[in-house]
């Protein structure tokens, strides 16, 4: 049996990045993700990598952009306000088709907010977040093991599509310790990047840009980007599904909340209520198809989030109006308890719950 | 017959979008000349700022990337850290470098990144139509200082070459002008030195080039060059503000 190591989520994520071949990190301190830069500042120099504590998140993301343009696997990490400052750079990276990993260990907003767990940045992460017509690949781990595994997956997807990828998690996942199997499963060697800027030796000069001025050129570029997003939706949707065939009600929840929901589902089972779970692992591309299929059999849906209702919009877009959909959310650092979720399950089952 | 003058290999043979008489073309040529001189075209990566400077990838015959407004030094940092053996430079205007990008240029300089920064100071935002820049002279009328720049409202013109010279990580900081042939030749030497010192890995090298933007100054090209000499140089003193002689880091 593979050996297990007890690790904090943030450290597991950093180790996943190293396992994925990432040797460049640029970032700026912000809680609750500081373990990531602290760990990498010690580890990267040992393996020939580079760590820079940048002067701001704005600089961080632009260093990431430069390193990516130069052909390296590269990452940054931050939280809420810092991620907001990175949106300009992420838009440029999506536009100039540059891969990188951006980790958001969310904190409460709007504004500075506290460092309690939250899922308030779902919209920002899944709608692109910066200006322009683009999407990030967004992965939502729900365990320390997944902090490691999905870091690797995020790099691979980011390279596959030449598009920024984001890990969206929170202080619970970042700070708690769990046993992890540090297998480099799925870690592909960083692919060749013929488009990278390495000096025009023996080839024509190459450019990375987002500004296209000839008639129709910018539109063609945007349509090419859209083709990539469509391909992501077709090929790279990830989710965990449980009890989707014979339940009376299905819950959609991601990340930390999905763990609380699992406890509530057990409690409901003890009372003879069968509850299914869809846990999106990719928040973009969103698992539209499984939601659509499932609600045809189980037409009662409960969405639970740590915000005032963000992913619920994607669930709603995936289903028909006649499906009964209830939302339960705790914003601002509030954490739903399994008892809260069990109560909501019962309200949803009750016809008067809508 | 001996060929004494030709287009540098690093410069693409094409028509630029610059206004007739604009000194961006001259600055481009000086950069291309230095790259050719050191034979490093195939290992050079340029980073352009936003504004009239953005199109370097259309005019230079080496790899290039367009950075977000003001962020070119951070992008260049990322490139140089991945490719320490490559020649990396940024090409930025005064709005890009001295306004929105002050944080990036100061900290990149302070880290002593081995890159070269080509800074075009023409006292206005060119591409957006002649608004006040951080370098706009006191009393100068622009589209956003219709009564002239007033220090009580708008602060003072910022002297980047002097400011950066105070930073330990800077190897070379100079201000040159391009308003006549004599000054262009001096500017050529300065740009060459900046790249030479980068090749020697001495720290960040910075060349501020005083330039005319007669279109947005609403003057004829020749009057523009005269204005550089008579109005800009008295405030933006030409000279070398710092020059490291060897790798004498602290």
- What are the residue boundaries of the structural domains of chain A, listed by start? 4-190+208-235, 240-353
Kindly report the nearest CA distance between residue A47 and chain B, in angstroms. 14
Q: How far apart are CA A162 and CA A176, in angstroms?
A: 32
Q: For residue B138, give the 3-state DSSP assignment.
A: coil
Whether the Cβ atoms of residue A284 and residue A135 lie closer than 8 Å to each other: yes
Quick one: which of B126, B115, B93, B103 has its CA closest to B208?
B93
Q: How far is CA A118 from the centre of its chain?
A: 14
3-state DSSP assignment of residue A91: helix
In the beta sheet, which residues pair with residue B89? B46, B116
Q: Tell me what pLDDT residue A191 has.
A: 82
Question: Do residues A57 and A88 make contact, with C-beta atoms less than 8 angstroms apart?
Answer: no
- Residue-averaged pLDDT of chain A: 96
Tokens of B116: 């070269």
- CB contact under 8 Å between A59 and B79, yes or no, is no
Task: Indicate the domain borders of chain B.
Answer: 24-243
User: In this complex, do A199 and B63 lie within 8 Å of one another by their Cβ atoms?
Assistant: yes
The total number of residues shown for chain A amounts to 354
**Chain A closest CA to B68's CA: distance in Å?**
7
pLDDT score, position A274: 98
- Closest CB to B103 among A24, A55, A202: A55
Tokens of B7: 């287009």
Fold of A240-353: Rossmann fold (3.40.50)
A200 and B57 in contact by Cβ < 8 A? Answer: no
The closest of B101, B97, B107 to B208, measured between CA atoms, is B97
Largest CA distance in chain A: 72
Give the pLDDT score at A168. Answer: 98
- Of A24, A89, A210, which has the smallest distance from its Cβ to B81's Cβ? A24
Q: Which of A26, A202, A208 sits opposite B65 (nearest CB)?
A: A208
Question: Residue for token digits 């490559």?
Answer: B86
**Residue A22 at interface with chain B, using a CB cutoff of 8 Å:** no
Closest CA of chain B from A42, distance in Å: 17
What integer best gives the mean pLDDT of chain B? 96
Instruction: Supply the CATH classification number for the domain A4-190+208-235.
Output: 3.40.50.970
Q: Which of B96, B250, B240 is nearest to B175 (CA)?
A: B240
Using pLDDT thresholds of 50, 70 and 90, give the confidence band for residue B159.
very high
Per-residue confidence at A234, pLDDT binned at 50, 70, 90? very high
Do the Cβ atoms of A197 and B63 come within 8 Å?
yes
Kindly report whether the global pTM for this prediction surpasses the value 0.90: yes
Complex-level ipTM: 0.96
Question: What confidence tens digit (pLDDT) does each residue in A275-333 have?
Answer: 999 999 999 999 999 999 999 999 999 999 999 999 999 999 999 888 989 999 999 99
The proportion of chain B whose per-residue pLDDT surpasses 90, expressed as a percent, equals 92
Q: Where are the beta strands (DSSP E) in chain A?
A: 4-8, 24-27, 50-53, 74-78, 100-106, 137-139, 164-170, 177-181, 207-208, 239-242, 249-252, 275-280, 282-284, 300-305, 324-329
> Nearest chain A Cα to B103, which residue?
A55
Within 8 A by CB and 6+ apart from A80, the residues are A30, A104, A106, A107, A108, A109, A113, A120, A121
CATH of B24-243, one of 2.40.30.10, 3.40.630.30, 1.10.1380.10, 3.40.50.970: 3.40.50.970
Sign of CA dihedral A164, A169, A173, A174: positive
Hey, what are B174's tokens? 């100079």
For A21, other C-beta atoms within 10 Å of its C-beta total 18
The tens digit of pLDDT for each residue in B6-56 reads: 999 999 999 999 998 899 999 999 999 999 999 999 999 999 999 998 989
């Amino acid at each position: 049996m593979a050996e297990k190591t007890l690790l904090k989520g943030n450290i597991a994520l950093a180790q996943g990045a190293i396992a994925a071949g990432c040797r460049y990190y640029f970032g700026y301190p912000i809680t609750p993700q500081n373990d990531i830069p602290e760990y990498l500042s010690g580890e990267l120099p040992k393996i020939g990598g580079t760590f820079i504590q940048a002067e701001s998140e704005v600089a961080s993301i632009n260093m990431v952009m430069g390193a990516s343009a130069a052909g390296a696997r590269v990452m940054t990490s931050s939280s809420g306000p810092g991620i907001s400052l990175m949106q300009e750079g992420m838009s440029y990276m999506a536009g100039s088709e540059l891969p990188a990993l951006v980790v958001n260990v969310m904190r409460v907003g709007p504004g500075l907010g506290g460092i309690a767990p939250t899922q308030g940045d779902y919209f920002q992460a899944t709608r692109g977040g910066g200006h322009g017509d683009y999407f990030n690949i967004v992965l939502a781990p729900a365990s320390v093991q997944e902090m490691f595994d999905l870091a690797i997956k995020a790099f691979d997807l980011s390279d596959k599509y030449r598009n920024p990828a984001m890990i969206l998690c929170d202080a619970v996942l970042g700070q708690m310790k769990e046993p992890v199997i540090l297998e480099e499963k799925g870690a592909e060697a960083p692919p060749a990047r013929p488009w990278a800027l390495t000096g025009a030796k023996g080839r024509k000069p190459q450019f990375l840009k987002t500004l296209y001025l000839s008639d129709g050129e910018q539109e063609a570029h945007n349509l090419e980007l859209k083709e990539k997003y469509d391909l992501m939706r077709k090929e790279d949707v990830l989710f965990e599904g449980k009890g989707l065939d014979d339940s009376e009600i299905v819950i959609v929840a991601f990340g930390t909340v999905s763990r609380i929901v699992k406890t509530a589902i057990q409690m409901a089972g003890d009372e003879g209520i069968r509850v299914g779970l869809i846990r999106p692992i990719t928040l973009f591309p969103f698992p539209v198809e499984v939601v659509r299929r499932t609600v045809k059999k189980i037409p009662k849906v409960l969405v639970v989030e740590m915000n005032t209702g963000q992913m619920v919009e994607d669930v709603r877009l995936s289903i028909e109006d006649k499906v009964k959909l209830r939302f339960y959310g705790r914003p601002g650092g509030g954490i739903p308890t399994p008892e809260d979720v069990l109560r909501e399950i019962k309200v949803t089952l009750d016809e008067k719950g809508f | 017959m001996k060929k004494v003058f030709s287009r540098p290999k690093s410069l693409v043979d094409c028509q630029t979008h610059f206004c007739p008489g604009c000194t961006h073309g001259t600055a481009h040529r000086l950069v291309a000349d230095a790259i050719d001189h050191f034979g490093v075209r195939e290992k050079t990566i340029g980073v352009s700022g936003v504004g009239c400077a953005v199109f370097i990838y259309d005019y230079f015959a080496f790899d290039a990337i367009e950075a977000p407004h003001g962020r070119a030094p951070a992008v260049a940092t990322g490139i140089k850290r991945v490719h320490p053996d490559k020649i990396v430079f940024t090409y930025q205007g005064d709005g890009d470098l001295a306004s929105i990008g002050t944080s990036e240029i100061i900290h990149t300089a302070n880290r002593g990144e081995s890159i070269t920064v080509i800074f075009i100071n023409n006292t206005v935002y060119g591409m957006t139509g002649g608004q006040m820049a951080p370098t706009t002279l006191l009393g100068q009328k622009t589209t956003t200082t219709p009564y002239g720049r007033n220090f009580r409202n708008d602060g003072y013109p910022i002297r980047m070459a002097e400011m950066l010279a105070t930073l330990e990580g800077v190897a070379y900081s100079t201000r040159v002008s391009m308003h006549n042939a004599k000054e262009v030749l001096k500017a050529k030497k300065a740009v060459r030195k900046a790249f030479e010192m980068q090749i020697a890995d001495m720290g960040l090298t910075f060349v501020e080039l005083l330039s005319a933007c007669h279109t947005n100054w609403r003057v004829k090209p020749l009057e523009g060059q005269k204005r550089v000499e008579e109005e800009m140089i008295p405030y933006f003193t030409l000279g070398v503000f710092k020059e490291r002689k060897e790798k004498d880091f602290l």
